[in-house]
Amino acid sequence: MSSSVLLYDTTLRDGAQRQGISFSVADKLRITKLLADFGIDYIEGGWPSSNPKDAEYFRRARELDLGATIVCAFGATRRMNNSADHDAQLIGLLEAQTPVVTIVGKASRLHVEQILRASKQDNLRAIEDSVRLLKREGREVVFDAEHFFDGFAEDGEYALACLQAAESAGADWLVLCDTNGGSLPETIFTVIEAVTRKVKTAIGIHAHNDCELAVANSLAAVRAGARQIQGTINGIGERCGNANLVSLLPNLALKMRQAVRAAEKLQELTQVSRQVSEIANLAPNNFAAYVGHNAFAHKGGLHAAAVQRMTASYEHIDPALVGNGREILVSELAGRGNIRLRAEQLGLDIGEAEQIVTNEIKQAEARGLSLEAADGSFELIVRRQAPNYRPPFSVRDLMVQSLRRTGEHQKSLATAKVQVDGVETLTAAEANGPVAAIDLALRQALNPFYPCIEDIRLSDYKVRILDPEQATAATTRVWIEATVGEQSWCTVGCSENIIEASAEALLASLELFILRLQEKGANYGRINAA
């Protein structure tokens, strides 16, 4: 195992530049504590001179117990027409009172001359003056060399001179930035190898993901000698994002055998990824490496059967190492092994009905039902094959009509005739839409027999047109999620009639809930009743 690699998180600054993200101070403090507990070495909290929110964050972050994790303030080298001692944003960095300060400076001759409209020497003096001031005030200094790889290609001698200016002033880290995200791993490796022969200061990498190579480039940098990796949780950031620390950590620890402090809590990785997504108000990426819901999902029957015999046959690591789990998907591609395994994961004994259930699933998928994301519908198919299965109710009639009364908005009226234990009940319900009306009518009809259904909340409803080229005759798939307390389940319905598809999904949801209660021997009274 080689010397330690330090993880530098910039979720709160660079990650916040992603479109649609705006962290509150409370959000930033929650993420800071979460990442510190996880073992991230450096957390870049923001730019204290740029806005009052970041200034408040640094004041409040000082009150947190972060263990060995260090919070960093971010800023830039002094303005060209200022002295470092009188530069407002450098003063703001010092006022943040962080032990580590990161400053970004130009390392591209083109940017110095065309963007800053300054001379090359003026830029070198700005770098040196800024670093020297921060070191004089006792700070650990990280120098981010912006556009370094592009600058090295334009004028390698000048790009190196920028690093040497920071080094001569006492910088503790020289971080090479692939700011436009356009470099390839072999370029990163070659350039960093060359740089390490010219400077003695520790090297870091800051990669952007514009070519989908930020993780690969960061790993190449480590192979070339970099000891600090900058990135964000889940790779969030401006444009296409930053290097994803969630992917980098297990790659470093498990694949490259690098010493990384956060690897001690690697089993918390999936939880950390999802918590940051939640705080950022982003849906987790189900296809994310290591931590995605589908990262260890097996759909093909041969794959699932092989994994049952030997997990390494189709899994590059044990999912538990990163706090994730194996998922056996059910679809028309599934063999009996998939179905048996999925039933076992749900605590169901499929018994001798394995082939019958397999055929039922293939028929359901053939008519448009997708059971991958509808475990409730799959579970219902399995339960209906149990020797002691008895339908908890049957629907004799279900009708919906739209009404428009004078002076009122259009309403929907649903009538439902339901039979339970030979007793028929006819009810009617009115609502703003047809699906809501059906739901109310069914609940009213079933309530005398199963009062517990009033506890069910429909938490999500999605519609997908499967064959839009058929226009108004297209097949519609309806997916619903229902919840009771902490329990949730998903069911689907499919038909050329959206009302019929919705009714199928609703009826499946209600039946499954009642069957689960019957299995537990529970009564049918209100669960949430006072």
Per-residue pLDDT reduced to its tens digit, 76-116? 999 998 899 999 999 999 999 999 999 999 999 999 999 99
Q: With cut-offs at 50, 70 and 90, classify the pLDDT of residue 330.
A: low
What pLDDT score does 374 carry? 82
Domain ranges of the chain: 6-279, 297-368, 394-520
pLDDT of 261-311, one tens digit each? Answer: 999 999 999 999 999 998 998 888 989 999 998 888 776 555 555 656 556
Residue count (the chain):
530
Quote the CA–CA distance of 108 and 76 in Å, as a whole number: 15
Identity of residue 228: Q
Give percent above pLDDT 70 in the chain: 91
Nearest to 44 by CA among 232, 234, 276, 240: 232
CA 178 from centre of chain: 24
| Start-to-end Cα distance in the chain | 60
pLDDT of 388-431, one tens digit each? Answer: 889 999 999 999 998 766 566 788 999 999 999 999 999 999 99
For domain 6-279, the CATH class is: alpha beta
- Comparison of pLDDT for 58 and 379, the residue scoring more: 58
Report in angstroms the alpha-carbon separations of 13 from 33, 74, 229, 261: 16, 8, 15, 22
pTM attached to this predicted model: 0.72
Lookup: tokens for 340: 């048996």
Quote the CA–CA distance of 340 and 250 in Å, as a whole number: 31
Give 394-520's CATH code, choosing from 3.20.20.100, 1.20.120.1200, 3.30.420.40, 3.30.160.270.
3.30.160.270
Quote the CA–CA distance of 6 and 527 in Å, as a whole number: 50
Tokens 């990796």 belong to 229
Nearest to 322 by CA among 280, 345, 342, 292: 292
